Structure 1
Amino acid sequence: MNLELPEEHRAFRDMVESFVAAELPKDWARELERREHDYPFELWDKFTKAGFHGLGIPEEYGGIGGDVLMQMILARSLARTLGGLSWIWGLTSFAGMKSIGVYGTEEQKRRFLPDIAAGKLRAGISFTEPGGGTDVLGAMRTYATKVDGGWKINGEKIWSSSAHVADYLLLLARSDRTVEKNHHGVTLFWVPAKAPGITTTELSKLGMRSIGSCLVHLEDVFVSDDLVLGEPHQAWRMLLPTLNNERMMVSAFCLGIIDGVLEDALDYAGQRKAYGKVIGQFQAIQHMIAEIKMAQYQVECMLTDCAWKIAVGKDSLVETTALKVIASDQANRCADIGLQILGGMGYSAETDMQRYWRDSRLWRIGPITNEMARNVIAENLGLPRSF
């Protein structure tokens, strides 16, 4: 496998890295992240200015084009300084471009993609329910009932990030209660986030504080037929390839966090003195930093391989699921090592290690827990389903 990027991708990477260095420094990200329940619109606006919302959207719909590898390059570069705040870009990229752009009608694409590309439309994802977690389908109690001209939706969603500032919610609801299998009879809706009957409540959490994660209550919310994405009752089959891409994006964010951790660990080890010498001279510290570097290389190789597999249309469910597990485990482990290297300063809110640790901890849980991901891998190797 050749990790060398094509010239076009190298130019894009260089542009993004220059933008991140100039516009998204770590100390600024640290201040943004402290603002719980205070969404950083200024960060969204910087993404708009740079044209990042248009990445992956064809030029005919107002975007700048770009393949999955370019999206991973951007995700990695953003997370190096922003950590979990990168999800502010990722949410709408996934909910909009990777949903409407993949299985929306031509009318839906022309109606929504230009506004997404221009940064005029924010989206949230509303899949998980209070009693569900990873068991999205088995625990689904949000129901859509067909009515004249559309659907009435009732239920509750949780951990819907940025729902309080979103224009639309990518929402999954059960539309047929008579099916024998849980993955049948669900429909995907593009729900106006401020529609009558929607109540949004922000939740406090460990990391990614200023993004806002919400409980969304829906009571007789009307959604017109033209806001159904794909075929009614067949959403889960349609969503599976998109969820694969989400695992790729999360893994790229994790790699960016490893980049940031390594950068800060090397800087601190070269400056901090103890017992008359810089701590980077101690073998214990050198071994810790070597562990971070090895993890970085491992995740980079896997991410590049999976990106190329997706780009050429190969079935890569097992590989991308394995990537998500390893990337999130390694990012959180590396951040923990970084905390140990910095000692008390790593625990301090004045440095970024604690932020990297808190943000990466979430990605071991979502969008699929690493335990469930291992089940998926085992089942795809021919072993019996364990859940």
Structure 2
Amino acid sequence: MDFALTPEQEDFRRMVRSWVEKECPKDVALELEKQEFQYPHELFKKMADAGFHAIGVAEEYGGAGGTEVDQVLLIRELSRSLGGQAWIWGINAFAGSKSVGYYGTPEQKERFLPEIAAGTKKFAIAVTEPAGGTDLLGVMKTNARKVDGGWVINGQKIWSTQAHVADYLLLLARSDKNVQKKTHGTTLFLVPTNSKGLETRQIPKLGMKNVGSCEVFLDDVFVPDDLVLGEPGKAWYMLLATLNNERIMMSALALGILDGVIEEALRYLREREAFGKPLGQFQVLQHYIADMLIAQKSAELIVFNAAWKQSQGMDCGLEANIAKVVASEGACTAADRGIQMFGGMGYSLETQMQRYWRDARLYRIGPIANEMARNSIAEMVGLPRSF
């Protein structure tokens, strides 16, 4: 089996790394992250100018082409420095370009994909609800009622990343209550955020402070028929491709954090001395580094395998869930060990390690809790449903 990147992919990876070192090195990322509630618009635009938002968008729609593997390469290199702030690229990729690309009409692709590729439109996903979390379909209260020329939506969403600055929400709503299965009767909408009756509110949080995660309130919001994405009533089965892509992208982001943690840890162990010798000479700290590298190489294989399967149009649900669990837990453990290595300075907001730790902690919870991901993994290999 050949696990090597192609020469073109290697060139792309090097180009992204060079761009990161110039435009958003770790010190810049640390300062940006301190700006709570201030979305990094300039960074988003720099990504657009570099052509990053065009990655994964077909060339016929003004994109640069590229597969899910190329997306993984990109977000991994971004998050090595940016940490969770790299999600300002990721959210647009899976909620916008991939979702419209997967199941948009030809007219919707012509309308939205060129703007996404150019970085002139931002998207957010609005799926999770306050009362449900992972039990999304069981408690979904957001509903869509058919009217002449469109739909009227009422309800509330939560943890909608960058909804406050997005132009459109990829929103899931129940459009039919009279169904035999809760997976039936849901519809996806592209909801303009400037719609009458739509409001957002940012949520204060531990990490990714300037990216912005929001509650979304919808009070008789009208959405025209041409902004229904895919077939009404069958959204859940379509959305699975988007959710798998989200898990793969977030796994790659966690892998990038692992890369950054290892870089910072090695630098510190080489520079700092204690008891007359370098910290890197202490066996326990060498074991910490070894464990980080084991986690990194394990996650790398799993994440790229999941991305490759999706790029080939293969079922990747199992692999996406495994990648999400392995990469998120590897990044969390590594960042926590990194803080321990740094001692008192690891607790200081001046270090990169604490930023990686705060950002990585989210990925054990979202977009699906690792406990629920494990349930799904077990169910996918034939065990009975546990919930």
Separation in structure 2 between the aligned mates of residue 333 and residue 350 of structure 1, nearest angstrom: 20
Q: Does 1:122 align with 2:122?
A: yes
| Alignment partner, residue 307 of structure 2 | 307
Where do 1:261-280 residues align within 5 Å?
261-280=261-280
| Alignment partner, residue 38 of structure 1 | 38
Any conservation in 1 of the 2:191–2:223 contact (CA below 8 Å)?
Answer: yes
1:369 CA drift (Å): 0.7
For structure 2, which runs of at least 5 residues remain unmatched after alignment?
Answer: none
| Alignment partner, residue 246 of structure 1 | 246
1:312 CA drift (Å): 2.5
Equivalent residue letter for 1:111 = R
Separation in structure 1 between the aligned mates of residue 137 and residue 231 of structure 2, nearest angstrom: 17
Any conservation in 2 of the 1:100–1:113 contact (CA below 8 Å)?
Answer: yes
Equivalent residue letter for 2:74 = L
Where do 1:355-374 residues align within 5 Å?
355-374=355-374
| Alignment partner, residue 181 of structure 2 | 181
| Alignment partner, residue 296 of structure 1 | 296
1:280 CA drift (Å): 0.7
For residues 256-294 of structure 1, give each alpha carbon's deviation from its aligned partner in whole angstroms, at most 9, with x where no partner exists.
000000000000000111111111111111111111111
Identity percentage of aligned residues:
59
1:307 CA drift (Å): 2.3
Where do 1:1-387 residues align within 5 Å?
1-387=1-387
1:136 CA drift (Å): 1.2
Any conservation in 1 of the 2:96–2:116 contact (CA below 8 Å)?
Answer: yes
- SS of 1:326's partner is helix
Any conservation in 1 of the 2:145–2:153 contact (CA below 8 Å)?
Answer: yes
Any conservation in 1 of the 2:379–2:385 contact (CA below 8 Å)?
Answer: yes
For residues 140-160 of structure 1, give each alpha carbon's deviation from its aligned partner in whole angstroms, at most 9, with x where no partner exists.
100000001000000000111
Separation in structure 1 between the aligned mates of residue 68 and residue 58 of structure 2, nearest angstrom: 13
- SS of 2:173's partner is strand
Separation in structure 2 between the aligned mates of residue 83 and residue 2 of structure 1, nearest angstrom: 29
Equivalent residue letter for 1:283 = Q
1:347 CA drift (Å): 1.2
Equivalent residue letter for 2:313 = G
Separation in structure 1 between the aligned mates of residue 248 and residue 55 of structure 2, nearest angstrom: 15
For residues 332-383 of structure 1, give each alpha carbon's deviation from its aligned partner in whole angstroms, at most 9, with x where no partner exists.
0111111111111111110111111111110111111101111111111111
1:309 CA drift (Å): 2.1
Equivalent residue letter for 2:96 = G
Equivalent residue letter for 1:235 = A
Equivalent residue letter for 1:232 = P
Any conservation in 1 of the 2:162–2:213 contact (CA below 8 Å)?
Answer: yes
Superposition RMSD in Å: 0.9
Equivalent residue letter for 1:45 = K
1:194 CA drift (Å): 1.4
Equivalent residue letter for 2:253 = F
1:103 CA drift (Å): 0.4
Separation in structure 2 between the aligned mates of residue 348 and residue 274 of structure 1, nearest angstrom: 20
Separation in structure 2 between the aligned mates of residue 64 and residue 186 of structure 1, nearest angstrom: 32
1:14 CA drift (Å): 1.0
Separation in structure 2 between the aligned mates of residue 191 and residue 349 of structure 1, nearest angstrom: 38
Equivalent residue letter for 2:153 = I
- SS of 1:246's partner is helix
Equivalent residue letter for 2:190 = W
Separation in structure 1 between the aligned mates of residue 140 and residue 315 of structure 2, nearest angstrom: 28
1:315 CA drift (Å): 2.2
Query: Could you tell me the TM-score, scaled by structure 1's length?
Result: 0.98
Q: How many residues align?
A: 387
Any conservation in 1 of the 2:176–2:186 contact (CA below 8 Å)?
Answer: yes
Any conservation in 1 of the 2:187–2:232 contact (CA below 8 Å)?
Answer: yes
Separation in structure 2 between the aligned mates of residue 158 and residue 243 of structure 1, nearest angstrom: 16
Runs of 4+ that moved beyond 4 A:
none
Any conservation in 2 of the 1:173–1:188 contact (CA below 8 Å)?
Answer: yes
Separation in structure 2 between the aligned mates of residue 36 and residue 61 of structure 1, nearest angstrom: 35
Query: Could you tell me the TM-score, scaled by structure 2's length?
Result: 0.98
Equivalent residue letter for 2:174 = R
- SS of 1:3's partner is coil
- SS of 1:43's partner is helix
Any conservation in 2 of the 1:3–1:304 contact (CA below 8 Å)?
Answer: no
For residues 91-132 of structure 1, give each alpha carbon's deviation from its aligned partner in whole angstroms, at most 9, with x where no partner exists.
111111111111000000111111111110011110001111
Equivalent residue letter for 2:376 = V
Any conservation in 2 of the 1:56–1:71 contact (CA below 8 Å)?
Answer: yes
1:319 CA drift (Å): 1.8
Separation in structure 1 between the aligned mates of residue 83 and residue 351 of structure 2, nearest angstrom: 13
Any conservation in 1 of the 2:190–2:227 contact (CA below 8 Å)?
Answer: yes
